[in-house]
Structure 1
Amino acid sequence: MNALSHEFDLSNATMLPPLDRRAPTARDHANLAAQWEAVHEAAAAIGVLAQLGRPEESEAVTGLPRRAAAKGGYQYDMVLRGVDDLAAVMQPGLRALLALSAGGRDTTSAALTLWREFHASRDAIIALAPDC
């Protein structure tokens, strides 16, 4: 009888190295804080295009990089990946909105949609490193 080959054949798989469990350094914290700030600057521009303006941010928002660094481990990694993902979504969305605006088109509806997506994603990232 012949063995069937299927997509779950792991006979040639390589083992991945263990995750780096070191505590975040001050440089890591600074990079995360800078990226978090940049994402919020992009959100502020989207808020203007959505005719909403820029709201005041709470400590839950501004303190995320500090809380994530203090927690370290998988929580820090998840926050870092979440912020990277959020930046990856925001960049092309903002570029598209700016191109529409430069062409004289109304961006309110599209900007409001991206604004809502930003806030939903941001709230999910914040939940990864709660204030407890």
Structure 2
Amino acid sequence: MESHPHSRGSLPRSGRPQFGLGSASALSMKWSALHDAASAVAALAGMTNGPLPPEVRNFPAIMRDAGGRRRELAEQNIEDLSAMMEAGLTALLSAFARGVDPRGGARALWREFLAARDATLALAPQGSSGPRRAA
């Protein structure tokens, strides 16, 4: 008998498999944190960053539903974007702390972020307007 009866992929007493819900949640958290960092970059650039459109906000759920290679590529792109933003934001904050105007660098990082994010969003299946919802 197994010491952890629920470690085989089902929720306690639900009888339903998890199907990677933990990684989908992690993807959503990373995506959200990435956009928080982008908002900080926009602020350093002297720009405003409005609310996310649904296709951006729902991207992690769309990719969870798409699965397969698309999802793997999206996860890798988000990791790469996160590394880029972490390094870039660290450099911008360091410059700002030394009294250097960060706006030019922040605008460049903002443009790079948008280009990389748009490439990542292109991984979503055509016609996907959001996650499938069950009533």
TM-score w.r.t. length of structure 2: 0.78
Which position in structure 2 is the counterpart of 1:14? none
Q: Percent identity?
A: 35
Aligned pair partner of 2:48 in 23, 37, 53: 53
Which position in structure 1 is the counterpart of 2:35? 40
- Higher-Rg structure is 1
Tell me the SS of whatever aligns to 2:23: helix
Count of residue correspondences: 110
Indicate how the Cα distance of structure 1 residues 39 and 131 shifts in structure 2: closer, same or farther if over 3 A, else same: same
Which position in structure 1 is the counterpart of 2:11? none
Which position in structure 1 is the counterpart of 2:59? 64
The CA distance in 1 between the partners of 2:106 and 2:26, in whole Å, is: 27
Deviation at 1:106, TM superposition (A): 0.5
For residues 40-73 of structure 1, what are the alpha-carbon distances to aligned partners after superposition, in whole Å with 9 as ceiling and x for unaligned?
A: 0110000000000222210110000000000000
TM-score w.r.t. length of structure 1: 0.80
1:92 matched to 2:87: yes
* Equivalent residue letter for 2:92: L
Contact 2:24 2:61 (8 Å CA) reproduced? yes
Indicate how the Cα distance of structure 1 residues 66 and 131 shifts in structure 2: closer, same or farther if over 3 A, else same: farther
Contact 1:67 1:131 (8 Å CA) reproduced? no
- Output aligned runs, 1:1-132, within 5 Å: 25-132=20-127
Contact 1:64 1:126 (8 Å CA) reproduced? yes
Tell me the SS of whatever aligns to 2:49: coil
Unaligned 5+ residue runs, structure 1? 1-22
Contact 1:50 1:108 (8 Å CA) reproduced? yes
The CA distance in 2 between the partners of 1:75 and 1:24, in whole Å, is: 16
Unaligned 5+ residue runs, structure 2? 1-17, 128-135
Quote the RMSD (CA, aligned, Å): 1.3
Contact 1:60 1:131 (8 Å CA) reproduced? no
For residues 2-59 of structure 1, what are the alpha-carbon distances to aligned partners after superposition, in whole Å with 9 as ceiling and x for unaligned?
A: xxxxxxxxxxxxxxxxxxxxx9511010000000011101100000000002222101
Runs of 4+ in 1 over 6 A off after TM superposition: none
Deviation at 1:130, TM superposition (A): 3.5
